[in-house]
């Protein structure tokens, strides 16, 4: 499905930004007006124009806040946060040292934090103990009653941020009576940008401290704790659930069995062999040629080098080999929902591999192009995705009826 662009990556990322409109993360007119100023594949214009829109909307929010217009300020600042995230997306030449990346990501976090303080439901910024540091998080609460409620722990993906969790899941969860605990893990959001933490395959080392923290909160029902994985989080959450058994349910959006195979299946065999043999002197120049041919591949490989702490594209691809559910999927013991997107080429066949490996109760649901939900993580069809997800979760967590005596 193409949305405003023929370039596959620009189309998807624009759809992603626009798709959060249902939860206050965008206005369709702002998205269209911005997109028409950006040419196909022009990454410099992408940053410039999305930054311009973000700054304009940010200013609206700031003026509204100063004038005491709480709702108007919140709405504008939420959109600005999403637009700043979008502006930063393709800036991947040297993101660890790029002042523009730091500026835009900081503004995305700051505008969201200001908006969160203006929400009608309580939002608490938290720091979750992790090894010798902490991970940033938000606890989104249904109300301030302190009543223990079912809670979804939101695990982000390859390029998502803590703030995005609100639009991707938390807003819909709150409407249905679920708290959400979202966090940036290694390789994600501020944990990568501010702390320099990079991805690790043994994600149970990340989730177990998050669960430990969750269980210290009186507002969280310990018997109804749900782990959710978004994009690459579909692998990360599944890997964690294989070792963390205090979960009532697991949701994978979408299912990802073997992250390495998703890369190598689109490579020429000779390139795969060079990478596996450590012939980076041959592999990296070829990878450079492939990157020059397409926006999506160029962005993904450059982001991977950064987020995985790799020294080169070949090194990044080798590091992905550890990201597999082989030999561990059968250890998952909680009910599991596996989502699949009909048009998702990178994840093609992966949800089915997860399903085949599971021995716990599980459900696989494919959302389709015909219903507008066939893109990766069902971007552009968030209401449909949330309906399917939370209807399954409501049923799964419902108390088992006691037989009549």
Measured distance between the N- and C-terminal CA atoms of the chain, rounded to whole angstroms: 55
pLDDT of 137 over the 70 cut: yes
Residue 289 CB partners (closer than 8 Å, separation 6+): none
d(CA 41, CA 5): 9
Mean pLDDT of 157-168: 97
Domain ranges of the chain: 1-120, 121-258+323-397, 261-321
DSSP secondary-structure letter at 401?
Answer: P
3-state SS assignment for residue 203: coil
Determine the pLDDT at residue 267.
84
Mean pLDDT of 22-38: 98
Determine how many CB atoms are found less than 10 A away from the CB of residue 398. Answer: 8
CB 109 within 8 A of CB 101: no
pLDDT of 217 over the 80 cut: yes
Determine the pLDDT at residue 290.
80
* pLDDT confidence tier of residue 297, bands split at 50, 70 and 90: confident
Quick check: is 231 catalytic?
Answer: yes
Looking at the domain that runs over 121-258+323-397, which CATH code has it been given?
A: 3.40.50.1820
pLDDT of 99 over the 80 cut: yes
Range with the poorest average pLDDT among 51-55, 150-154, 295-299, 312-316: 295-299
Give the torsion through C-alpha atoms of 272, 275, 279, 285, to 10 deg.
Answer: 80
Q: What is the chain's mean pLDDT, rounded?
A: 96
Determine the pLDDT at residue 266.
81
Determine the pLDDT at residue 293.
76
Q: Which of 62, 72, 231, 292 is catalytic?
A: 231
pLDDT of 403 over the 70 cut: no
Mean pLDDT of 240-257: 97
Helices H / strands E in the chain, number of each: 17, 8
Task: Name 127's bridge partners.
Answer: 136
pLDDT of 405 over the 60 cut: no
pLDDT of 356 over the 70 cut: yes
Model confidence, pTM: 0.96
The bridge status of strand 336-341 relative to strand 220-230 is unpaired
CA 235 to centroid of chain Cα atoms: 12
Tens digits of residue pLDDT in 48-92: 999 999 999 999 999 999 999 999 999 999 999 999 999 999 999
pLDDT of 197 over the 90 cut: yes
CB 146 within 8 A of CB 219: yes
Mean pLDDT of 144-173: 97
Range with the poorest average pLDDT among 1-5, 138-142, 173-177: 1-5
Looking at the domain that runs over 1-120, which CATH code has it been given?
A: 1.20.1440.110
Range with the poorest average pLDDT among 42-51, 249-258, 270-279, 287-296: 287-296
Determine the pLDDT at residue 209.
98
pLDDT of 168 over the 70 cut: yes
If 0-12 CB within 10 Å is exposed, 13-18 middle and 19+ buried, where does residue 338 land?
Answer: buried
pLDDT of 176 over the 90 cut: yes
Tens digits of residue pLDDT in 326-350: 999 999 999 999 999 999 988 899 9
Mean pLDDT of 207-234: 98
Tens digits of residue pLDDT in 107-123: 999 999 999 999 999 99
* pLDDT confidence tier of residue 402, bands split at 50, 70 and 90: low
């Amino acid at each position: 499905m193409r949305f405003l662009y023929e370039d596959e990556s620009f189309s998807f990322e624009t759809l992603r930004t626009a798709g959060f409109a249902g939860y206050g993360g965008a206005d369709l007119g702002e998205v269209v007006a911005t997109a028409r100023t950006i040419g196909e594949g022009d990454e410099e214009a992408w940053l410039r124009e999305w930054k311009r829109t973000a700054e304009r909307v940010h200013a609206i929010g700031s003026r509204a806040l100063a004038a005491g217009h709480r709702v108007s300020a919140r709405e504008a600042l939420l959109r600005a946060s999403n637009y700043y995230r979008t502006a930063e997306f393709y800036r991947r030449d040297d993101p660890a040292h790029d002042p523009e990346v730091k500026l835009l990501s900081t503004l995305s976090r700051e505008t969201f934090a200001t908006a969160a303080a203006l929400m009608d439901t309580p939002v608490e910024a938290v720091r979750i103990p992790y090894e010798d540091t902490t991970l940033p998080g938000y606890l989104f609460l249904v109300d301030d009653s302190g009543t223990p409620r079912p809670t979804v722990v939101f695990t982000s993906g390859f390029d998502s941020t803590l703030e995005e969790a609100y639009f991707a899941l938390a807003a819909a969860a709150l409407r249905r009576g679920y708290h959400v605990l979202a966090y940036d893990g290694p390789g994600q959001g501020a944990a990568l940008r501010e702390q320099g933490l990079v991805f690790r395959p043994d994600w149970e080392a990340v989730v177990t401290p998050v669960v430990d923290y969750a269980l210290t909160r009186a507002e969280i029902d310990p018997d109804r704790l749900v782990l959710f994985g978004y994009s690459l989080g579909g692998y990360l959450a599944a890997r964690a659930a294989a070792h963390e058994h205090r979960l009532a349910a697991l949701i994978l959006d979408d299912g990802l069995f073997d992250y390495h195979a998703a890369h190598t299946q689109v490579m020429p065999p000779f390139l795969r062999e060079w990478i596996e043999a450590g012939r980076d002197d041959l592999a990296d120049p070829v990878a450079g040629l492939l990157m020059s041919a397409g926006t999506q591949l160029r962005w993904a490989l450059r982001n991977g080098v950064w987020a995985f702490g790799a020294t080169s594209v070949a090194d990044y691809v080798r590091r992905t080999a550890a990201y597999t559910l082989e030999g561990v999927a059968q250890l998952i013991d909680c009910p599991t929902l596996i989502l699949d997107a009909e048009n998702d080429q990178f994840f093609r066949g992966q949800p089915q591999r997860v399903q085949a490996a599971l021995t716990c109760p599980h459900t696989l649901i494919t959302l389709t192009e015909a219903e507008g939900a066939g893109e990766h993580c069902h971007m552009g069809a968030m209401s449909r995705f949330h309906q399917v997800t939370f209807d399954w979760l409501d049923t799964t967590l419902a108390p088992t009826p006691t037989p009549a005596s």
